[in-house]
Amino acid sequence: MSIELQPPGARRPAPPPQPLPDPRIPGLTADFVWGTATSAYQIEGAVDADGRTPSIWDTFSHTPGAIDNDDHGDVACDHYHRMPDDVALLAGLGLDAYRFSLSWPRVQPGGSGPANAKGLDFYDRLVDELLARGITPWATLYHWDLPQELEDRGGWPARDTALRFADYAEIAAARLGDRVRHWITLNEPFCSAMLGYHVGCHAPGRQDFQAAVRAVHHLHLAHGLAVQRIRSVAPASAQVGITLNPAQVYAASEDPADRAAARSADGMGARIYLDPVLRGEYPRDVVEELARHGVTLPVEPDDLADIAQPLDFLGVNYYFSDVVAAGEEPERTRRVPQPDRPVTAMPWEVFPQGMTDLLTRISRDYPGIPLYVTENGAAFDDGACDADEGGRVQDHHRTAYLADHLAAVGRAREAGADVRGFFAWSLMDNFEWAYGYDKRFGIVHVDYRTQRRTPKQSALWLRDAASVNRGK
Ligand code: IFM
């Protein structure tokens, strides 16, 4: 890994102290769940340890030019070898819950056949470590690291991958279900399907819209089958859900063409995922629009019944909103940048009200399902907020971002949305996919040369906010 990081404090003086945001968040009650999140490939490293086989992200990240700086996850945060220390660090933040993902090729090398005892042992130890420190484990089964062997057999565009995923889900739940109560089947199927098979900026790097749409459906099927298999082996108290990142879209104007563009973007960015999972149907306008592009969802009889399993919660990831207008062709949309909105390092526009609107809209349109914000956070250049003399990383921008978005969650709750928790993305700086290690989302700073972890101001603020609001 060719990462040349300067130690905190070496680049420029710490910014002047700023007042920290008020940790008291209106609308958040004592039972609100406070957590933080990571995923396997982004933090674990140890890619060939103890029987793990390559995933599509190992292959993709070693493809020259695919990732900024040609970074990869071979070592990442070396969490596989440092897990007890990381859990101790997490415990110091005083949060209630930790959302992590299992690496499919670690648990079931190649994605089919028997479980890998050593791979499962790692998650077994992680769960025990968390529970011993009073932290509730939230396990995600799939955060994008498809076993390469399954990709070689067709990947998500192939129906068989969904069946393989159901087997893997059962293996994981059978081993951990006595202690893990909260299960998330998939993280952001939009990214797996559209970024992986259509845009090609994520693994496996294919650019084939029909393949991407097939992937959408097979991810949904994988989810529905996995829910059934988890429930078949886990105690009745298991809480099972899925994490989506529904687009939050606004029309640039009241012009009917812009409103149609927004509806279309909402269909392909939100409803194509929400509707099958929560209503057992694909939105008609989306199916028609796909047909206009000569593309179909490969739905077989009974699939939608399998997909629309009763869920205990919906995970919602939110980072930004989109304003769209009609593009050149009638059915095309065009993103309209909002120069008045500040941007993160990604650069994503910061718009907390979008979070309130998204959560209230989901609660209104899909009533009855509890919501958890399973990811929210921001990459900022921590070079601009280096450690002060006390060794703290003064990430004022990230602290303010989290405070503003937690306030947005509070407003959604006050407006009636049943939002029960918030997981900051991410516990620590990590491998940010196509952007490599330059984009830092962590509330804990990672020095990749030494693997030293330093909680940032945002982590300490989150700890205080959790404590203050719990005491209300
Ligand atoms: O780092 C990712 C995460 O893996 C999935 N959700 C968005 C985050 C920031 O890009």
- Contact criterion met (CB below 8 Å) for 392 and 399: no
- Contact criterion met (CB below 8 Å) for 70 and 64: yes
33 DSSP β-pair partners: 421
Host H or E run for residue 140: strand 136-142
Query: 176: Cβ–Cβ under 8 A, 6 or more apart, which residues?
Result: 120, 123, 124, 127, 139
Instruction: Name which residue sits closest to atom 9 of ligand 1, judged by CA.
Output: 432
Cα(144) to centroid(ligand 1), Å:
10
Cα–chain-centroid distance for residue 227? 19
Active site residue 329: no
Pocket of ligand 1 (CB under 6 A): 39, 42, 188, 317, 375, 425, 432, 441
Q: How confident is the model at residue 330, as a pLDDT?
A: 56
Cα(432) to centroid(ligand 1), Å:
7
Q: How confident is the model at residue 383, as a pLDDT?
A: 61
Q: How confident is the model at residue 471, as a pLDDT?
A: 86
Alpha-carbon gap, residue 236 to 132, rounded angstroms:
23
Give the three-state DSSP class for 430. Answer: coil
Residue tagged active-site, from 188, 281, 414, 432? 188
DSSP 87-102: HHHHHHTT-SEEEEE-
Tokens 């906010």 sit at which residue? 465
Alpha-carbon gap, residue 334 to 323, rounded angstroms:
8
**Domain-located, residue 28:** no
Alpha-carbon gap, residue 146 to 195, rounded angstroms:
14
**Domain-located, residue 21:** no
Q: How confident is the model at residue 2, as a pLDDT?
A: 30
CATH classification of the domain holding 234: 3.20.20.80
Please count the structural domains in the chain: 1
pLDDT in tens, the chain (472 residues): 233 333 444 445 556 667 899 999 999 999 999 999 999 999 999 999 999 999 999 999 999 999 999 999 999 999 999 999 999 999 999 999 999 999 999 999 999 999 999 999 999 999 999 999 999 999 999 999 999 999 999 999 999 999 999 999 999 999 999 999 999 999 999 999 999 999 999 999 999 999 999 999 999 999 999 999 999 999 999 999 999 999 999 999 999 999 999 999 999 999 999 999 999 999 999 999 999 999 999 999 999 999 999 999 999 999 999 999 999 875 679 999 999 999 999 999 999 999 999 999 999 999 999 999 999 999 998 763 455 656 678 899 999 999 999 999 999 999 999 999 999 999 999 999 999 999 999 999 999 999 999 999 999 999 999 999 998 7
Q: How confident is the model at residue 19, as a pLDDT?
A: 87
**Domain-located, residue 384:** yes
Name the residue range of residue 320's domain: 33-470
In testing the pocket of ligand 1, which one of 243, 425, 429, 443 has its CB within 8 Å of the most ligand atoms? 425
Q: How confident is the model at residue 128, as a pLDDT?
A: 98
**Domain-located, residue 311:** yes
Tokens 């309209």 sit at which residue? 336
pTM for the structure as a whole: 0.95
**Domain-located, residue 9:** no
**Domain-located, residue 26:** no
Alpha-carbon gap, residue 396 to 398, rounded angstroms:
6
Active site residue 375: yes
